[in-house]
A = this chain, B = another copy of it.
Amino acid sequence: MEIDRIKFDEKGLVPAIVQDIYTGKILMLAYMNKESLEKTLETNTTWFYSRSRQKLWNKGETSGHVQKVKRLAFDCDRDSLLVEVEQVGPACHTGQMSCFHNEILIDNQFESDDKNITEDLYEFLKERKANPVE
């Protein structure tokens, strides 16, 4: 089984990057143990291990902001996961689409209108993916 190749750390965890498969936006980073990874594959929704609450959680179970898993891959070192999802609603508990909203550095080039063009195109791609034209 492919998941037996994954190297969990000394706490039995592996970091999982969650990316919106339509827009390419990074939504969050959380941790999976073997059980939560198995549940993710079984249910096609994301399950993580909460380090603070020390138990499994199914993302969106209470908020309804579920993540439908479309692709799951591991890296060349076999110690991190990339989970590509269809995100329902915002991913962050703050109500933002992504948890990564605290900027430390940004190149001037990416503050321009150019960024909006990219985002518009991403939105177009998302819409086209959800509703393919024959």
Contacts and interface: CB of A to CB of B under 8 A. Distances in A.
Interface magnitude class on chain A: 35 or more
Contact of A100 (B21, B70, B82, B96): B82
Given A15-B29, A19-B26, A100 B73 contact: yes
Given A107-B70, A109-B70, A24 B25 contact: yes
Copies of this chain, how many?
Answer: 2
Given A17-B29, A26-B82, A129-B114, A76 B104 contact: no
A99 B71 contact: no
Contacts of A116: none
A103 B76 CA distance: 11
A74 to B, nearest CB: 5
Nearest to A124: B121
A101 interface: yes
A99 B125 contact: no
A92 to B, nearest CB: 6
Contacts of A122: 24
A72 interface: yes
A72 B28 contact: no
Given A15-B29, A19-B26, A26-B19, A72 B104 contact: yes
B75 A102 contact: yes
